[in-house]
Amino acid sequence: TELAPERVAAVRYAFETFAAEALTVAGLAVRMNRLGHTMYGRPWMKGTLEGLLRNPVYRGTVRLGNVTRSEFARYDGTKIVRVKNPDSTLIRNPVECHILTPDQ
């Protein structure tokens, strides 16, 4: 947090404002951009902000398995299953396949 206080401020602003005001995610992105908040130097987009607000890590939960780049296998929520992904492209796994560890 000492290395990027502006990022911490932007994330905190997003959560506090979204919780306190009747704004859409798109409206919040517009406001954050007008206020000069950026994410890694880029303007906020609706999809980026939705991902941030839905990310369980901000409430203290570690999430693993939300994406797979594996060429041969992935975790389906209960076991390792085969996949055909020869070029190792990014695959977004369904929520039920995520491994969540709360209170971290």
pLDDT category of residue 16 using cuts at 50, 70 and 90: very high
Question: Tens of pLDDT along 22-81?
Answer: 999 999 999 999 999 988 889 999 999 999 999 888 888 888 878 877 777 777 778 888
- Give me the pLDDT at residue 71, please: 75
∠ CA 12-45-90, rounded to 5°: 100
- Give me the pLDDT at residue 29, please: 97
pTM: 0.67
What is the C-alpha separation between 1 and 4, in angstroms, rounded?
A: 5
Q: Is the pLDDT score of 99 beyond 90?
A: no
Query: Burial letters for 18-41: b for 16+ Cβ neighbours within 10 Å, e otherwise?
Result: beeeeeebeebbebbeeeebebee
Q: Is the pLDDT score of 1 beyond 70?
A: no
What is the C-alpha separation between 42 and 29, in angstroms, rounded?
A: 12
